[in-house]
């Protein structure tokens, strides 16, 4: 493991303190921040307005390399999704997905190497948990996406490998760094944190005073089915999760998105749509329906289009805004875990449809 500290782990205020501790003026931190996040240099020597002796001192203590991109997979075309496999300083690898679209570009970042939560349809959960990512490593994913895109992503979503609210402090720090208006400057409303339903994290996030979007992986309208698909539901059941979401929406004034993967004959009937509408009635919510990515180990199949259309109609009749999301990137192994799994020699792992 590289013993140097990672410069991208620092907020702008912390970088300023580092400069002051090394008897440099405060404006030096602004210069370095600009080199890191506006010009996005990858070598200390490129920071031309920083004195050479100070650059040397920084280079001895601080690493400028959160991750190296070793592989990218993608379809062709200006709006094609691309998946980046990044190697971290200790040799672990993690994925980020870049999703360009007309007028916007989204990067989907990972928050952990692996995941503890073992959702049935997810490669990350099956592969087990290795470690949390540092804030700077997540910032590094955004920087890698910016290099791939040739521009700063307009949107950042924490929907990659891992459960963001299980790595709360590092994720929130990365959010603040990515959001900093002097650097990458991704607006809070363009940042989404997606969770499988970690209630203490949702309640904590409500108190942060941030305008970030919250997305909940729901996938079932009742406890029995949700516990089967997502074991985390046994710890945080719907009777506790929904009030936590309602309180979050009330406190922040933000709409919550519920992700719901449609699985044929499992969770896609009209009765289940009605149950979902009843469940979400107390929450300021919208529902994002996702076609299942077919995977061998899970064995589920995507819903028929007619079932999906009926499901949406039931929700909309109940006054809940619902959309059927195109599974963009499925053709490039963009479902969580697959690229990493194939590098580890397992090309058959199930895909995560969302976090
Ligand atoms: S869906 Fe998210 S929370 Fe569930 S196992 Fe996969 S990464 Fe973990």
- Closest Cα to atom 5 of ligand 1: 125
163 lines ligand 1 (CB under 6 A): yes
124 lines ligand 1 (CB under 6 A): yes
- Closest Cα to atom 1 of ligand 1: 355
122 lines ligand 1 (CB under 6 A): yes
CA 317 to ligand 1 centroid distance, Å:
31
CATH superfamily of 67-343: Aldolase class I (3.20.20.70)
- Crossing angle of the two packed helices 238-252 and 270-280, in degrees rounded to 10: 50
Count Cβ neighbours within 10 Å for each residue of 93-117 and write b for 16 or more, e otherwise.
Answer: bbbbbbbbeeeebbbbbbbbbbbeb
Ligand 1 site-directed mutation target among 108, 115, 132, 263, most atoms within 8 Å of CB: 115
Tell me the two tokens of residue 69.
């991109």
Angle made by CA atoms 261, 157, 142, in degrees to the nearest 5: 140
- In angstroms, rounded to a whole number, what is the distance separating the alpha carbons of residues 239 and 284? 16
Residues in the chain: 355
Query: What burial class does residue 87 get, using C-beta atoms within 10 Å of its C-beta: 0-12 exposed, 13-18 middle, 19+ buried?
Result: middle
Q: Where are the domains of the chain?
A: 5-63, 67-343
119 lines ligand 1 (CB under 6 A): yes
pLDDT in tens, the chain (355 residues): 557 899 999 999 999 999 999 999 999 999 999 999 999 999 999 999 999 999 999 999 999 988 877 777 776 666 788 899 999 999 999 999 999 988 999 999 999 999 999 888 787 777 789 999 999 999 999 999 999 999 999 999 999 999 999 999 999 999 999 999 999 999 999 999 999 999 999 999 999 999 999 999 999 999 999 999 999 999 999 999 999 999 999 999 999 999 999 999 999 999 999 999 999 999 989 999 988 876 656 778 889 999 999 999 999 999 999 998 765 544 444 444 444 434 333 322 323 434 3
CA 265 to ligand 1 centroid distance, Å:
22
Strands (E) across the chain are located at: 5-6, 62-63, 67-74, 82-88, 93-101, 104-108, 112-114, 129-132, 155-158, 191-195, 213-217, 256-262, 285-291, 321-324
CA 20 to ligand 1 centroid distance, Å:
41
Residues catalogued as catalytic: 95, 336
Class of 5-63 per CATH?
Answer: mainly alpha
How close are the terminal C-alpha atoms of the chain, in Å?
Answer: 29
- Closest Cα to atom 4 of ligand 1: 119
CA 113 to ligand 1 centroid distance, Å:
11
């Amino acid at each position: 493991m590289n013993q140097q500290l990672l410069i991208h782990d620092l907020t702008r205020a912390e970088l300023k303190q580092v400069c002051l501790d090394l008897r440099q003026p405060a404006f030096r931190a602004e210069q370095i921040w600009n080199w890191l996040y506006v010009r996005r240099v990858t070598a200390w020597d490129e920071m031309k307005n920083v004195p050479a002796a100070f650059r040397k001192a920084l280079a001895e203590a601080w690493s400028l390399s959160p991750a190296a991109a070793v592989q990218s997979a993608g379809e062709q075309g200006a709006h094609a999704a691309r998946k980046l496999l990044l190697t971290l300083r200790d040799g672990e690898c993690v994925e980020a997905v870049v999703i360009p679209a007309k007028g916007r570009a989204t990067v989907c970042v990972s928050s952990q190497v692996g995941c503890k939560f073992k959702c049935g349809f997810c490669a990350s959960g099956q592969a087990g948990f290795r470690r949390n990512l540092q804030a700077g490593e997540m910032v590094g994913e955004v920087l890698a996406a910016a290099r791939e895109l040739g521009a700063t992503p307009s949107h950042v979503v924490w929907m990659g490998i891992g459960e963001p609210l299980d790595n709360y402090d590092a994720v929130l720090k990365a959010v603040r760094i990515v959001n900093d208006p002097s650097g990458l400057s991704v607006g809070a409303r363009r940042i989404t944190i997606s969770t499988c339903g970690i209630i203490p994290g949702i309640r904590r996030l409500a108190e942060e005073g941030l305008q970030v979007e919250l997305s909940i992986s729901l996938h079932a309208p009742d406890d029995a089915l949700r516990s089967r698909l997502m074991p985390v539901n046994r710890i945080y059941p719907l009777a506790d999760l929904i009030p936590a979401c309602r309180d979050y929406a009330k406190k922040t004034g933000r709409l919550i998105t519920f992700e719901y993967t449609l699985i044929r004959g499992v969770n896609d009937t009209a009765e289940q749509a009605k149950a979902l509408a009843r469940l979400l009635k107390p929450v300021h919510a919208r529902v994002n329906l996702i076609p299942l990515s077919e995977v061998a180990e899970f064995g589920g199949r995507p819903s028929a289009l007619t079932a999906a259309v009926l499901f949406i109609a039931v929700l909309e009749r109940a006054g809940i805004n619902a959309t059927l999301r195109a599974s963009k990137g499925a053709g490039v192994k963009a479902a969580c875990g697959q690229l990493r799994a194939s590098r580890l020699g397992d090309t058959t792992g199930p895909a995560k449809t969302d976090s």
